[in-house]
Amino acid sequence: MTSPHVFLVAAERSGDLLGAGLARELRTLTDGAVLLSGIGGSAMAEQGIVSAMPIDGLNILGWIDGLRAYKRVKAAVATAVEAIIAARPDTVVLIDSWGFTLRVARGVRAIDPGIRLVKYVGPQVFATRPGRAEVLAASVDELLTILNFDGPYYQPHGLPVTFVGNPTLERLPTGDGAAFRARHGIEAEKQVLVVLPGSRPSEIRRMAGPFVKALQRLTERYPDLRLVLPVADPVAGQVDAVIAANPVLKTAIRVGEDEKADAFAAADVALACSGTVVTELATAGVPTVASYKLGWITWGLVRAFNLLKTPHISLVNIAANARIIPEVIQLACTGDNLAAAVEPLLDSGERRAEMSTRLKAVTAELRGTGQASRRAAEAVLAGIGFNPAP
């Protein structure tokens, strides 16, 4: 095989970034011989992949949001399957986004079982709904996992699992905190609180209110506190609307994703919606308070059916089996509770230093041996019998 054809599918920003890293390494390993096509966003587009469809509106979390978007997602799945079948790739890599990519996998397999299907990032079966391991095993040919403790959940179902490491922990460059402070006029003695209310529209809707109330209390107690909001591209408009509507955010420093690493390096503490960004903050050693709220019906179902199998929601805490990062979730997610969780970190440099050391240690273990995107690319190529030249 001289020109392998790989089709990448990503439905949200985090998957788009993973896809971009994978695409880059696939080209490197094949000396540019690989043919890449796919579905994704701006990061994959920068790697030359013209998306076969827009992914706007597919960034969905929770049953209720899923039901509301059912028709749109169903149509998107049909479009994705049609694009894949028309492209006739050797392998399809389905990145994260459990509900969407599972449906795409089933659609492709029903039409052309000869196309190899690889899932990149498995569902969090260690945290909720372990039955998904069996479902995934029946739907794809291989799982590339970013977690070193995923394998045993899938082994009973015969799904080959390759641990590649977590590219998220390698992707964020070392930031320049001093340069960030100088660029934005933040004096060295001023404390910086980085605020990240989410990267999904539903997260902004649910988290903005409690976050704003927490910031009102914090800025009253700490009048010299500087607020920094690194904003994810997919929700920039929503975050800007929240900033415009709330006086406490009028003096906040709003930056794009291009300044995120520098913002993290400048931060004393972070308040973040739980997700990939919390792992990024942990990798940078930023003392963080994590928070999350599901829709009430979704949360009721989670509680009624005991679907949450872990006492933690943050990956770092799950990996450490300890509450390193304070978590303020659901009913507890109020402005007062969020502020109360942040205040001890602002008050104690010793507490911040201790948390930073622990976060860096845990994420070092999660990172594995490094070059996660390269190992993922090697696994994809090996699955179709392509051996890169040494």
Q: Could you count the other beta carbons within 10 Å of the beta carbon of residue 50?
A: 11
If asked whether residues 132 and 216 sit together in one domain, one would say: no
Mean pLDDT score across all residues of the chain: 90
Tokens 């390494």, residue located: 25
If asked whether residues 72 and 183 sit together in one domain, one would say: no
* Whether the predicted pLDDT of 131 surpasses 60: yes
If asked whether residues 120 and 185 sit together in one domain, one would say: no
State how far the Cα of 248 lies from the Cα of 255, in Å rounded to an integer: 16
**pLDDT, position 308:** 59
Helix axis angle, 349-367 relative to 335-347, nearest 10°? 100
pLDDT greater at residue 205 or residue 170 = 205
Q: pLDDT tens across 83-130, in order? A: 999 999 999 999 998 989 999 999 999 999 999 999 999 988 876 677
The residue segments making up the domain with residue 243 are: 171-366
* Whether the predicted pLDDT of 298 surpasses 80: no
- Cα angle 170, 91, 18; round to 5: 20
Confidence label for 275 from pLDDT (cuts 50, 70 and 90): confident
- DSSP code per residue over 28-91: HHTTT--EEEEE--HHHHHTT--BSS--TT----SHHHHHHTHHHHHHHHHHHHHHHHHH--SE
* Whether the predicted pLDDT of 167 surpasses 70: yes
Least Cα distance to 371 among 94, 31, 28, 6 occurs for 28
For the four alpha carbons of 95, 59, 67 and 83, in that order, the dihedral sign comes to negative
**pLDDT, position 302:** 55
If asked whether residues 30 and 54 sit together in one domain, one would say: yes
Tally of structural domains, the chain: 2
Sheet with 269-273, edge to edge strand ranges: 253-255, 226-230, 192-196, 269-273, 288-292, 327-329
In the structure encoding, which two tokens stand for residue 262, read together? 């520098």
Dihedral class, residue 94 (left if φ above 0, else alpha if ψ from -120 to 50, else beta): beta
Is residue 311 in a domain? yes
If asked whether residues 158 and 274 sit together in one domain, one would say: no
Q: pLDDT tens across 43-95, in order? A: 999 999 999 999 986 765 554 455 556 688 899 999 999 999 999 999 999 99
Are 267 and 194 within 8 A, CB to CB? yes
Rounded to an integer, what is the distance from CA 146 to the centroid of its chain? Answer: 12
If asked whether residues 87 and 222 sit together in one domain, one would say: no
If asked whether residues 269 and 177 sit together in one domain, one would say: yes
* Whether the predicted pLDDT of 306 surpasses 80: no
If asked whether residues 276 and 194 sit together in one domain, one would say: yes
**Is the whole model's pTM more than 0.85, yes or no?**
no
Q: Supply the CATH number for residue 82's domain.
A: 3.40.50.2000
If asked whether residues 154 and 229 sit together in one domain, one would say: no
Is residue 389 in a domain? no
User: What percent of the chain has a predicted confidence (pLDDT) above 90?
Assistant: 71
When pLDDT is averaged across residues 209-232 and rounded to a whole number, the result is 97
State how far the Cα of 153 lies from the Cα of 66, in Å rounded to an integer: 26
**pLDDT, position 301:** 52
Give φ, ψ of 13 to 5 degrees. Answer: -60, -45
